[in-house]
């Protein structure tokens, strides 16, 4: 028996009940339950994001698992995510592909391909940075993401220039610079990789708004993986063939087993990466993207504490002071975004209530000729 068969008797029973007794309004949802669910979604996302970052660090760091092939790791993730996303969309039909507008080959080439290329660069550079930098310092550098997104949004004219916002961005940048100055394990190449990853990711986010959102296309994390992961995998194959394939062959010849990844380790790592995308879908769908941004700040502090206490990475007082400055700037950025969303919502409600009713519009139309005629009589 399908879901529709169960719903029909229930609907009939409700109709009989409503015809015999007065209908009572449904009780409002529990505020406490909503709050607890929101905290649960945030906790799931933080846990999975935390796990993926630490797991990637464990695999790539030469002092830990010791498999320093970031492009290969990213390609494993993309192949795994593309396969599962295709199963969820085409076989299980958990989510539907966007139908308005439909994803045509021309739209895919013009919109998804550039986003997939930037996503490949972002993942490649960010995973490579784990070989050279500590987890705590990478999280501090990621605080530059709002700076990059806002600067590119102003450059692409998707956001307006505001002096207060730019001063806030300069404050975040100054905080990150102080944190970098106090980094005990500073590596210029690793910093360049992470900054390149931030730039690629920020450009990807801005292009999503320009190429997809502006055209009325909305992709959730599952459909995003369904379209973008195969494209990303193809783009990663180019640097993989030129950079890592010779190294993998050399590793296979010199050290038996180094080039052959452990199925359990890489399988669970890929599963965590895919589950993280599901958690993003759950968190943004049930709360908001702003909630995820705020939760990301909490996650960064947890990762810094974990890196300091468990991995034993060195975190200096200057690191903490610099990141504290950047943290205040990011917190203000999120607060300003929240206030902007509230203002837009208030304007929308005010516009909805200010729309005249059809009867009022017709009455006003009837009164205008009479008023004009009266004025004309007085002029004569």
Measured CA to CA, the distance from residue 79 to residue 231 in angstroms comes to 10
Average pLDDT on 218-235 reads: 88
**102 forms bridges with which residues in the sheet?**
99
Average pLDDT on 64-70 reads: 89
b/e code 330-360 from CB counts within 10 Å (16+ = b): bebbbeeeeeeeeeeeeeeeeeeeeeeeeee
- Residue 211's pLDDT band (cuts 50, 70, 90): confident
pLDDT at 14: 40
- DSSP-assigned letters across all residues of 198-235: HHHHHHHHHHIIIIIGGGT----HHHHHHHHHHHHHHH
Average pLDDT on 275-295 reads: 75
- State CA 192 to chain mean position distance: 23
pLDDT at 200: 94
pLDDT at residue 7 tops 50: no
CB atoms within 10 A of CB 165: 19
Q: Phi and psi of 251, rounded to 5°?
A: -65, -35
pLDDT at residue 308 tops 50: yes
Q: Which residue has the tokens 């300069």?
A: 170
pLDDT at 288: 64
pLDDT at residue 268 tops 80: yes
CB atoms within 10 A of CB 266: 19
Say which residue, 27 or 157, is predicted with more confidence.
157
Cβ atoms of 125 and 259 closer than 8 Å: no
Measured CA to CA, the distance from residue 83 to residue 85 in angstroms comes to 6
pLDDT at residue 216 tops 80: no
Six-digit token string for 140: 């501090």
* Best-predicted range by mean pLDDT (193-197, 210-214, 324-328, 337-341): 193-197
Instruction: Tell me whether residue 180 is exposed, middle or buried, using C-beta atoms within 10 angstroms of its C-beta: 0 to 12, 13 to 18, 19 or more.
Output: middle
pLDDT at 362: 53
Percent of the chain exceeding pLDDT 90 equals 39
Could you report the per-residue pLDDT of 318-342, keeping only the tens digit for each?
Answer: 999 999 999 899 888 888 877 877 7
**99 forms bridges with which residues in the sheet?**
102
Six-digit token string for 105: 């080959």
pTM (2 decimals)?
0.77
Could you report the per-residue pLDDT of 255-264, keeping only the tens digit for each?
Answer: 655 656 788 9
Q: Which residue has the tokens 């966007």?
A: 98
Measured CA to CA, the distance from residue 116 to residue 370 in angstroms comes to 63
Could you report the per-residue pLDDT of 119-132, keeping only the tens digit for each?
Answer: 999 999 999 999 99
Length of the chain: 380
Closest CA to 127 of 256, 248, 239: 239
Six-digit token string for 227: 């379209």
Average pLDDT on 87-91 reads: 91
Percent of the chain exceeding pLDDT 70 equals 81
Cβ atoms of 140 and 329 closer than 8 Å: no
Measured CA to CA, the distance from residue 157 to residue 102 in angstroms comes to 26
């Amino acid at each position: 028996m399908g879901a529709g068969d169960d719903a029909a008797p229930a609907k009939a029973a409700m109709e009989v009940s409503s015809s015999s007794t007065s209908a009572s309004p449904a009780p409002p949802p529990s505020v406490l339950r909503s709050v607890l669910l929101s905290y649960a979604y945030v906790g799931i996302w933080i846990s999975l994001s935390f796990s993926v970052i630490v797991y990637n660090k464990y695999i790539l760091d030469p002092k830990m698992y010791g498999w320093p092939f970031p492009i290969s790791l990213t390609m494993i993730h993309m192949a795994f995510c593309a396969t599962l996303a295709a199963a969820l969309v085409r076989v299980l039909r958990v989510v539907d592909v966007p139908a308005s507008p439909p994803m045509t080959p021309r739209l895919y080439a013009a919109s998804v391909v550039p986003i997939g290329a930037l996503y490949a660069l972002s993942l490649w550079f960010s995973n490579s940075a784990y070989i050279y930098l500590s987890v705590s310092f990478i999280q501090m550098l990621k605080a530059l993401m709002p700076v990059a997104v806002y600067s590119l949004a102003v450059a692409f004219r998707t956001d307006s220039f505001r002096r207060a916002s730019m001063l806030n961005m300069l404050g975040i940048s100054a905080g990150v610079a102080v944190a970098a100055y106090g980094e005990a394990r500073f590596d210029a190449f690793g910093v360049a990789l992470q900054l390149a990853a931030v730039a690629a990711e920020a450009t990807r986010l801005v292009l999503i708004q320009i190429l997809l959102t502006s055209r009325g296309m909305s992709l959730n994390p599952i459909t995003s993986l369904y379209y973008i992961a195969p494209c990303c995998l193809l783009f990663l194959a180019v640097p993989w063939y030129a950079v890592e394939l010779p190294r993998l062959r050399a590793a296979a010849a010199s050290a038996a087993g180094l080039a052959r990844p452990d199925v359990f380790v890489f399988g669970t790592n890929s599963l965590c990466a895919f589950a993280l995308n599901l958690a993003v879908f759950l968190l943004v769908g049930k709360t908001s993207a702003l909630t995820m941004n705020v939760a990301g700040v909490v996650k960064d502090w947890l990762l810094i504490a974990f890196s300091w206490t468990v991995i034993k990475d060195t975190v200096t007082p200057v690191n903490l002071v610099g990141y504290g400055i950047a943290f205040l700037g990011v917190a203000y950025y999120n607060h300003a975004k929240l206030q902007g969303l509230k203002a837009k919502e208030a304007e929308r409600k005010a516009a909805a209530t200010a729309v005249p009713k059809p009867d009022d519009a017709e009455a006003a139309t009837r009164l205008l000729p009479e008023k004009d005629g009266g004025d004309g009589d007085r002029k004569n």
